[in-house]
Amino acid sequence: MAEEPAPSVSPETPPTGPVAELKRANPTVKLAAVVLAGILTLAVLFWAQGIRTTLEKQEAFRRGIDGLASALVIPVLETKSVVNENRSARLQGIIESVQRSGSYDVVVVTDPQGNVLATTDTSLKGQIVKDMADPKNVGHAKAVDGLVEATSQIANDGGVVLGVLKVRAKL
């Protein structure tokens, strides 16, 4: 079989297609396209960085709430103690001072079943907060109504869960 020669292109036949159109385009249009592509690239990078920064802030906030939950072990134990009766007022005072010291909107402490032990939100006093009793809703930070909400288990050194802490704040 003989190979067929490739069709020859004469020098006077101009190339066709998108590449040819780009080569014939006005230099100002080319410059505008490059600038627009650069601006779009920067916008996407800034948007991605903004999301990353928000997630990093939420994670740092969650870790801080984990530390606060560790500090609440003894006050939560005291609210359940027969010897130290009427210590729920101490836990209430602690979370109110936590709210005042930070820019926190709401601070809530429940037992493992979701019964509110102390709260800065008066509408929750004496209530059961079911989502705080569900372990899959604990240990994370998420955006809720323009605020960041973080939850953490209040557990002793042996890992026994004594309660749950939920904090909402504006970051």
Number of domains in the chain: 1
Per-residue pLDDT at 109: 94
**Given the DSSP bridges, would you call strands 161-169 and 104-110 parallel, antiparallel or unpaired?**
antiparallel
Amino acid at 130: K
C-alpha–C-alpha distance, residues 58 and 39, integer Å: 29
Categorize the per-residue pLDDT at 43 as very low, low, confident or very high, splitting at 50, 70 and 90: very high
- Any residues with CB less than 8 A from the CB of 137 and at least 6 apart, and which? 131, 151
Q: How many helices (H) and strands (E) does the chain have?
A: 5, 5
pLDDT score recorded for residue 106: 92
Output the average pLDDT for the chain.
84
Percent of the chain with pLDDT over 70: 82
Domain that holds residue 113: 46-169
**Domain presence at residue 20:** no
pLDDT band of residue 38 (cuts 50, 70, 90) is very high
Q: Report pLDDT digits (tens) over 89-133.
A: 889 999 999 888 877 899 999 999 999 999 999 899 989 999 888
Q: Is 63 within a domain?
A: yes
User: CB of 85 within 8 A of CB of 67?
Assistant: no
- Check residue 152 and give its pLDDT: 92
Per-residue confidence (pLDDT) for residue 137, from 0 to 100: 81
Statement: the pTM of the whole predicted model exceeds 0.75: no
Kindly report the CATH number assigned to the domain that includes residue 72. 3.30.450.20
Q: Would you say residue 22 lies in a domain?
A: no
Is 37 domain-assigned? no
For residue 12, what are the CA distances in angstroms to 2, 38, 74, 131?
29, 36, 90, 76
What distance in Å separates the CA atoms of residue 159 and residue 144, rounded to the nearest whole number?
Answer: 28
The arithmetic mean of pLDDT across residues 49-76, rounded, is: 88
